[in-house]
Amino acid sequence: MNSTPSPQPSSVDSSQSVEDEMHTWNSSPEPASTCATSRIDSEVEMHLLNFDTTLDNAADQHELATAPLLTRAAYEMSGLAQKNSQYGVLGSVTAIWQVYLIRNLDKGHNYTPQDPRLYINTNAPFSAIVCGVQGSGKSHTVSVLLENMLVSGCDAIGVSHKTLSGLVLHFGEGGSTSLPCEAAFIGHGSNMPGACPPKIKVFVSRSSLTRIRRVYSVLGDAVTVEPLQFSESELDAESILSMMAVGMSDSAPLYVQRILVSRADVFISECEFDTDNSMQAIMRELGEAFTYHRFLKEVERAKKDMSTMQIPPLDQRMALLKAYVDTSAHVAKTRFKPGQLTVVDLSDPFIDPPMACALFEIATRLFVRADVETGKVLVVDEAHKRVYWAHKKPDVVDTAATASRDESDYQHTR
């Protein structure tokens, strides 16, 4: 026990003291103008904090309307049914695990909805990873997703008022064992009444054009195979340096470093130098001065200062670069359209993974920039095969991530 004597009660009643203090505080009311100002400040502060039940309801509706997956009940609850909004039939729900309280996770139970239809919301931007063991239906799932976004006129698979524009990056086995990209089969036609499949355009390397055309001939006239070539206007400095294997290591190859230094020298000599200009202004001028034709001239000039050991690998890369440049095309081709699936198939034994990543990066960047007046869908086929090279050269992954972010910020009008 504590031997300290208990304190004596105070001669002043504490409750009375509090009452007196409150009475004293209330006995000096503030002016009416001050009270009004305080009330206005309170309303402004509450508005700043979005303390409004109507806003909460709007947030719930927005969450439903932008959800990538919707049950039929959620589709009707969100009001999308009244708006006749776009959707695709992805599958059916076999069971839903319902939990009453978060702290009682073991007290949930399975139930089957009355309407098992599961929709994919083709109006909402989303990113998806389709994974599983071999034979689990990964390719079938991707094909169903593409059908929901690119096939029109078929009520059995959903509502599609305005089809999307699609790009598939495919890097399969080259040689005599090559097979068509499975995504291209959605353009083969359908026995569903009213279904209008998308147009399929496949771009391949010129060295494998004849072989790949024979591979895709099983799909008939639904698929068009063309050589993958870029116009000079489509190739900026970043694209060319990517195809020159810059970025595969911490430092660029020595022959590329020589070209970079030489190119910078010629740019600075051609720019009107003014000491009052900042370094940023000079860099902007350098960027505008870059052209593919000028790059080739600087390569030839830089080769004069290279050793005999450096020229052969440079010539190899330059030959590969020129194989994908169409110098006769002054205007870029229209590769992407609404209701069309574009496939970049680099199943070529003469294309190594780093080169494939560089070409995929350029194609993805052009796809992001293209104005197709509709939504876009990007598919990286057999993505697990590129995990290693994505680590070595993450540009293609960064470009795909940028495309996903840009698509999330883009407001579709369909």
d(CA 234, CA 239): 9
Name the pLDDT band for 263 (thresholds 50, 70, 90).
very low
Which are the contacts of 256, defined by CB distance < 8 A and separation ≥ 6? Answer: 241, 244, 245, 246
Alpha helices in 66-181 (DSSP H): 72-77, 80-83, 138-150
* pLDDT (0 to 100) of residue 78: 80
Question: pLDDT tens digit string along 368-407?
Answer: 999 998 999 999 987 666 554 555 555 555 555 555 555 5
Strands 325-326 and 158-159: unpaired
CA atoms within a 13 Å half-sphere pointing along the CA-CB vector of 392:
16
* pTM of the complete model beyond 0.75: no
Give residue limits of the domains in the chain.
Answer: 163-229+329-409, 248-324
Question: pLDDT tens digit string along 155-209?
Answer: 888 888 889 999 999 998 877 778 899 999 998 877 777 789 999 999 999 888 9
